[in-house]
Chain A
């Protein structure tokens, strides 16, 4: 498969088996840099499994997940990286990672892929501000001389901490939670927790942001605000977004590219308009065979 110009993430022949169950079957797709790519499909289609494979929480049974930093020309080295058996290949003009070879914390730390969770995973007993500081752990750890200078009270750490607090403050303002900065995250309303989780993921300075159903449980107004937030994040920080979503107003409203999964198999891949009219996709969502789509559509009044 020849990589197109500005590919950021390349998933090739990804297969994930749990015992006899094939959750993801030979899935290949690409996410372009600066784009919003949506991964959709009915419940149980294997979307979250794909996410867990990309972010290193699962080790895929088969397949390759490549991620590029820097120059697009790096893709030509992918086979070299695969043959070397290493996790990453660094050159002067960029770095190539093979995510399926990395543990989850290195995917976040080195490959700079951040994620959120379907069931929100904040640190409920810590304040909103603390949540955002934990996200800046690795940089602060360096600044504190791996704790040693920090315990001794060196000023370098205080400056770094102040910078981290400033950054957290900017993000709290960005997601409209600055008034609740000192409240425990567990006390925030649901929609605010979703926004805080996105802000926390952004505090890790990602290149690729993976959002697992960010609009779940939000009302239409909140979904619209979420759309604006995601578009603004992309515009300001130039990052790419990969999202799983059921809310079609979000998917169709903001994504540049849609990949549809059903029973672990890719059934459609393209821009939102073409996917929306794809017979296979409609069949999968309505739960009928391809040839019965017209009849089913008539029944539900489409």
Chain B
């Protein structure tokens, strides 16, 4: 650590006391959780074993970590805060300007690039698990961003609309044999109707209360899906959901399948690439519409609502309708994403629509910076790509033993990412706001002026 002459002196005693207290707290918390373990011995009797070395090493790590935070990170943050705000260096403004077009270009050439590198065999995993999976979350993040980031309404049950979209597509496609392209807008409309239905009763609620009710709504949808067995088949889920076709050409090994029609050798990769471009188009549509909406009166009204609801009403804005449109619009994109999810998986069950999904999408929005399109996309890549890449880290088994499964530490990674971001950038990766309109010069607005919304 560099110690500048102007660095504020850190009271060592206070740091030590904090560290001791944190260690004690960890000890108390983890004693029953980590310190003792019940195992079945060879006589099939349950016995308690203590794990003192493990417990003490965790306590030590936490204590030293806290000490390091007080001695190193806190003074650094303090210095950073007191430093005058300098204009960003030239390379940063240039790279920020070119980042968007470059990223769009990259995701368009991504499948051929992967095919070139990995060949037909290895490419499916990279396009499906990484490309499609990440793009679904980018789209969901952008959709939720309308509700949370722009309108400032904290929605913890966003996955409900995703579920509505998925089940609408699955049920209508199986019952009536309608095509994906017809059902895609229908799923969006149905989901946005549910958004409005949720919106009406909860409009009077603000902040924490709104969050709790939306959370409950998400659970209601999931539990209805589980229990309405005659319609949804409950826990067992819906299987063999029709796959999308390319103008009526299915992606199968049949004679009228895609590969046969175009004289290619059959490979599952064609369908994966096709799905990739569908979700890419849907995600870009979401981004395009959101960018447009921000410049329209409705988008400005959403942001004004986040800044000050009472002022909005004094200007003659019907805040009820404005909130409902935000809910409906966010829900519609979740519905699109849901119907895509159903057609991609070919199988859906209530397991896919738990609260954890809502929390993941919300954390993507919060990490990315509420209201920022690029920030949300980066956060989705980091969070979803990060958890997917953990499956690939087989070398860790050599270090931690064969039973070590990196994917089990997914949530730990989430937690660490959250903590770090909240220390480093409390308002998300990209926290500044770009004005929707300008007279002479577009100046980005610093995060401390921007409201977070009160629901």
The verdict on A123 contacting B435 (CB below 8 Å), with A108-B316, A183-B443 known, is no
Q: Is B442 an interface residue (CB 8 A)?
A: yes
Q: Is B400 an interface residue (CB 8 A)?
A: no
Q: Is A129 an interface residue (CB 8 A)?
A: yes
A205 nearest CB across to chain B (Å): 10
Specify the chain A residue showing the minimal Cβ separation from B298.
Answer: A147
A86 nearest CB across to chain B (Å): 19
Beta-carbon contact of B313 and A124 below 8 Å = no
- Chain A positions within 8 Å of B313 at CB level: 57, 104-105, 108
Beta-carbon contact of A122 and B440 below 8 Å = no
Interface size band for A? 35 or more
A80 CA to B193 CA, complexed, in Å: 40
Beta-carbon contact of B438 and A123 below 8 Å = no
A38 CA to B419 CA, complexed, in Å: 54
Beta-carbon contact of A182 and B442 below 8 Å = yes
The verdict on A134 contacting B289 (CB below 8 Å), with A124-B451, A126-B303 known, is no
Specify the chain A residue showing the minimal Cβ separation from B449.
Answer: A186
Q: Is B308 an interface residue (CB 8 A)?
A: yes
Q: Is B331 an interface residue (CB 8 A)?
A: no
> How many contacting A-B pairs (Cβ < 8 A)?
138
- Chain B positions within 8 Å of A182 at CB level: 435, 438-443
A145 nearest CB across to chain B (Å): 10
- Chain B positions within 8 Å of A147 at CB level: 293, 296-298, 325
A117 CA to B9 CA, complexed, in Å: 45
Q: Which of B303-330 contact A (CB under 8 A)?
A: 303-304, 306-308, 310-319, 325
Beta-carbon contact of B314 and A108 below 8 Å = yes
A56 nearest CB across to chain B (Å): 8
- Chain A positions within 8 Å of B319 at CB level: 105
Beta-carbon contact of B439 and A134 below 8 Å = no
Interface size band for B? 35 or more
A208 nearest CB across to chain B (Å): 13
The verdict on A137 contacting B314 (CB below 8 Å), with A125-B445, A127-B435, A130-B435 known, is no
Q: Which of A213-231 contact B (CB under 8 A)?
A: none
A178 CA to B435 CA, complexed, in Å: 16
Q: Is B301 an interface residue (CB 8 A)?
A: yes
Beta-carbon contact of A137 and B442 below 8 Å = no
A141 CA to B311 CA, complexed, in Å: 18
Beta-carbon contact of B314 and A123 below 8 Å = no
Beta-carbon contact of B311 and A123 below 8 Å = yes
- Chain A positions within 8 Å of B440 at CB level: 181-182
Q: Is A121 an interface residue (CB 8 A)?
A: yes
Q: Which of B280-302 contact A (CB under 8 A)?
A: 289, 292-293, 295-298, 300-301
Specify the chain A residue showing the minimal Cβ separation from B320.
Answer: A105
Q: Is B1 an interface residue (CB 8 A)?
A: no
**Listed residue (A126, A133, A178) with the most chain B CB atoms within 10 angstroms of its CB:** A126
Q: Which of B248-295 contact A (CB under 8 A)?
A: 289, 292-293, 295
Chain B residues close to A by CB (< 8 Å): 289, 292-293, 295-298, 300-301, 303-304, 306-308, 310-319, 325, 433, 435-443, 445-446, 449-451
Residue contacts A-B, CB under 8 angstroms, 6 given = A121-B314, A126-B445, A135-B315, A147-B298, A157-B296, A182-B443
